[in-house]
A = this chain, B = another copy of it.
Amino acid sequence: MPRRALDNPIVLPVLGLLLEQPTHPHQMLTELRRRSDAHAAAITRGTLYNTVATLTEAGWLAPLERQRSGNRPERTVYALTDAGREELVRRLDSQIRTPKREFSQFLGAVAYLGALGRDGAVEALTERGRRLRQRTAEDERRLDEALAAGVPRMHVIEAEYALSLARAEIAWVDSVTEELRSGALTWPTGAAREREGEDA
């Protein structure tokens, strides 16, 4: 009975974190959010506690001990089981091996770029380019700092990947912006009518 919960996107980050050391859910939350630059986009409390419970039922993690300081809520520290470690490796392997189509907001929006009208599109894309460049420069700086400080490359490998894609996106945005400006990329008639309509 493969519960849907076991498919949710925070399973991997949770297993990954527990690979490092046992922790209790609240700490996972704090830690995952702290690192959120790298993984674990949106982790919410409900989902996390729920996921931990389901993973425990599945036998991939086990409560290690319960701690209590003073009269605070008791907290349960969980550790990865052997089965959990195997599962992590299985998932890792399959997610790396098999590319899946995923959809960014931007991809969805670009499909309707026409609705912005040529000028609107140029404006918005230019701005995106600017922000991407700024953010990417910042990321590059941080990465260089980490490497200079002696962090092994394997530990920042996902930042390298993210940077590669970011650079590709910048290149694409710049080239399309330029083509729109120069008129090399023209508006099809239908959408052009659309745009005229805006001002009429």
Contacts and interface: CB of A to CB of B under 8 A. Distances in A.
Contacts of A160: 172, 176
Q: How large is the interface on A (under 10, 10 to 19, 20 to 34, 35 or more residues)?
A: 35 or more
A5 to B, nearest CB: 16
A99 interface: yes
How many copies are assembled?
Answer: 2
Given A99-B131, A157-B176, A165-B169, A89 B115 contact: yes
Contact of A112 (B16, B110, B128, B164): B16
A132 B99 contact: yes
A19 interface: yes
A155 B189 CA distance: 11
A172 B161 contact: yes
Interface string A123-156: 0110110011001000000000000000011110
Interface of A: 9, 12-13, 16, 19, 37-41, 88-89, 91-93, 95-116, 120-121, 124-125, 127-128, 131-132, 135, 152-155, 157-158, 160-162, 164-165, 167-169, 171-172, 176, 185-188, 191
